[in-house]
Amino acid sequence: MPIYLDHAATSPMPADVLAAYVDALTVVGNPASIHSQGQNAKRMLEEARERIARSVGADSVEVTLTGGGTEAVNLAIKGLYWARNTAGSRPRILVPEGEHHATMDAIEWLEKHEGAVIEWIPLDELGRISLPALEAALGDDVALVTALWANNEVGTIQPVREIAALAAVHGVPVHLDAIAAYGYLPIDFHAVGVAAISISAHKIGGPVGAGALLIARSATVVPLLHGGNQQRARSGTQDAAGAVAFGLAAERATADLHGQASRLRAVRDRLVGGIRSAVPSAVYRGDPESAGRLPGNAHFTFPGCEGDSLLFLLDVAGFSVSTGSACQAGVPEASHVLTAMGLSEADARGALRFTLGHETTDAEVDALVAALPSAVSRASLAGLSDRETTLGR
């Protein structure tokens, strides 16, 4: 049985969540219908929405269910931009470098088709936003600020309250992509004081294709989808079964957040210590302090190796991990997150991201540490061979 260490990509669905999902799928009725079966489906849906709202310190009316995290991010960014940039009065969008591609592709679409002006805010060597640069860029012509709550590759937690406070001085709404942070860090929508937060179900053991955008009562978001007005910012028949599973997964993931995070940090630190001992050349990326990064994230670069080669070798050995970098048309590319942190493309290529789940054991991380030196040695030889071929030797 392969050892799964890629929970940032998706997390397995627990048995009770799966059972609740299957049971809910047998319920007949459109939540928008007024007959008894439709109203039964609506009751299930709204109870699930309440569970999701409680997990993030929001009111249920502030939870707009979506078809996943990417849709939630797009709804927030495009919806806030369209609402704010009336007659071209506020064309600027402020975005930290190193964001998820859901954000990058959405803003670049707005730049190409809607005349948005994108201003990238630099990151430091740990992957954290420069607050002075953000403060200097803010102004009355800014439509919104959008930022990750925690970086999905290197795990660095952003100073979200400070970001919100700086933007509030200019009355600029903030969207936070909390998809990587949800279920691992405490999220209090009302306390952080932003316009919108995007979350996703399958990162916490819920179903793929279910997400949500938290929209503050004071915020205005133009919908992406029209036709029915089933929700405040989204039309379309709502997925009651997906919401039921999402709601239970949300409740499970946040029931003992502090205790679960503490246990996860201990397993992660065991992994980090093991890798540093087994492969002394490996470089730990992101914030090295536990309090400054996601509890289940361990990100390393391995000099002289290609991340893809390491991934494939570990996969053959029975471990599922991630490079955390883009791959287009079969050509590996250096991580844009790492280059934004100041790494050269060559240094950024040998990256691996290990992301642990609440069920990850000490024995599993010990097994990875034992298998890693051989994989690094073989990947280094492969990288050397490739370089010699390129040089014509």
Which residue in the list 136, 255, 327, 346 is annotated as catalytic?
A: 327
Tell me the two tokens of residue 120: 């990238």
Q: Is 327 a catalytic residue?
A: yes
Q: Tokens 């997990």 label which residue? A: 55
What is the number of H-type helices and E-type strands within the chain? 13, 14
Phi, psi of 333 (to 5 degrees): -125, 150
| Torsion sign (Cα): 341, 344, 349, 350 | negative
Please count the CA atoms within 13 angstroms of the CA of 256 that sit on its side-chain side: 6
Q: What type of residue is 278?
A: A
Q: Tokens 């405490």 label which residue? A: 186
CA distance 265 to 282: 20
Contact 142, 273 (CB under 8 A): no
Tell me the two tokens of residue 187: 């999220």
Contact 100, 73 (CB under 8 A): yes
Contact 178, 197 (CB under 8 A): yes
**Catalytic residue set:** 327
